[in-house]
Chains A and B, each alone.
Chain A
Amino acid sequence: MRRRTTFPLVLLGATALWSVFATLAGSPEKSYYYLNDLVVEDNYAVGIFWHDKDIPHAEKLSEADKTLFMRMIADFDDPGTSRFERQIFLGQAADKAAQETCPPSAKSCSYTAYFNQTISPTLIHGDLRLISLEARTLRQDVTLYPADNRVEYGPRYTEYRKMRFMLTERGWVLKTVETTEIRLIEQQPALPLQTPKMSGLNYYPASASWDDFWDVFPQKHIAEDLDIIQDLGANAIRIFVQHDYFANPETQADGLSKLNTLLEICDERDIKVIVTLFDLRADYRFQNWGRDSVHLMTVLKAIRGHPALLAVDLKNQADLDFDSAGKANVLAWADAMITSARYTYPDIPLTIGWSDARQAGLLSEQLNLISFHDYHDPQGLAERLKQVHHIAGDKPVFVTEIGHSRWALIRDKSKRQANRLEAQLTQLGSADGVFVWTLHDFDEIGSNIVGHRPWRKSQQKAYGIVTQDGERRPAAEKFKKFNSEFISIQTGD
Chain B
Amino acid sequence: MRIIPIYIMMSLMTVVPGTVQGQSKGQEGCLIVPHKTLCKTESLNLYVGPQSVEPGEDIFIAVETLTAANDSSQASSVVIIDELTGQRYEAPVVQGLAYIELKAPNQAGRLTFRAETDNVTSQPAEVLVHAGQAASFDIHIEKNKGQAFVWTSIITDKFGNFVDDGITATIELVSDDTVYASLQTSTQGGRIGLHIPCGEIKKTQSRIRARIGYAVQEMNIPTYLCGGEI
> A residues near B, CB below 8 A?
56, 91-92, 95, 122-123, 125-127, 129-130, 132, 134, 155, 157-158, 162, 164, 166, 176, 178-194, 342-343, 346-347, 349, 368, 394, 396
What's the Cα separation between A379 and B200 when bound, in Å? 111
Taking A164-B64, A183-B16, A343-B13 as given, write out 13 further A-B residue pairs in contact, using a Cβ cutoff of 8 Å, ordered by the A residue number. Answer: A92-B66, A126-B58, A126-B101, A127-B47, A129-B60, A164-B96, A164-B97, A176-B96, A190-B9, A191-B4, A192-B1, A192-B3, A193-B6
What's the Cα separation between A178 and B94 when bound, in Å? 13
What's the Cα separation between A127 and B15 when bound, in Å? 39
The contact string, 1 if C-beta is below 8 Å from chain A, for chain B 1-30, is 111111111101111111100000000000
Chain B interface, number of residues (Cβ within 8 angstroms): 39
Q: Which residues of A contact B47 (CB under 8 A)?
A: 125, 127, 129-130, 166
Q: Are B6 and A394 closer than 8 Å at their CB atoms? A: no
Q: Which of A56, A179, A184 contacts B16 (CB 8 A)?
A: A184
Minimum CB distance partner of A395 in chain B: B1
| Beta-carbon contacts under 8 Å, B28-42 to A | 34-36
B50 in contact (CB, < 8 A): yes
What's the Cα separation between A155 and B17 when bound, in Å? 13
Q: Are A181 and B99 closer than 8 Å at their CB atoms? A: no
Q: Are A346 and B97 closer than 8 Å at their CB atoms? A: no
Q: Which residues of B contact A176 (CB under 8 A)?
A: 64, 70-72, 96
Q: Which residues of B contact A191 (CB under 8 A)?
A: 4, 6, 8-9, 12
Q: Which of A95, A126, A180, A190 contacts B95 (CB 8 A)?
A: A180
> B residues near A, CB below 8 A?
1-10, 12-19, 34-36, 47, 49-50, 58, 60, 62, 64, 66, 69-72, 94-97, 99, 101
Q: Are A192 and B95 closer than 8 Å at their CB atoms? A: no
CB distance from A305 to the nearest CB of B (A): 11
CB distance from B18 to the nearest CB of A (A): 4
A183-B10 CB under 8 A given contacts A129-B62, A162-B96, A164-B64 = no
What's the Cα separation between A210 and B168 when bound, in Å? 68
For the complex of A and B, 5 pairs with smallest distance between CB atoms: A127-B49, A126-B60, A92-B70, A184-B18, A346-B10
Q: Are A123 and B99 closer than 8 Å at their CB atoms? A: yes
What's the Cα separation between A127 and B72 when bound, in Å? 22
Minimum CB distance partner of A160 in chain B: B35
Q: Are A179 and B18 closer than 8 Å at their CB atoms? A: no
What's the Cα separation between A180 and B9 when bound, in Å? 28
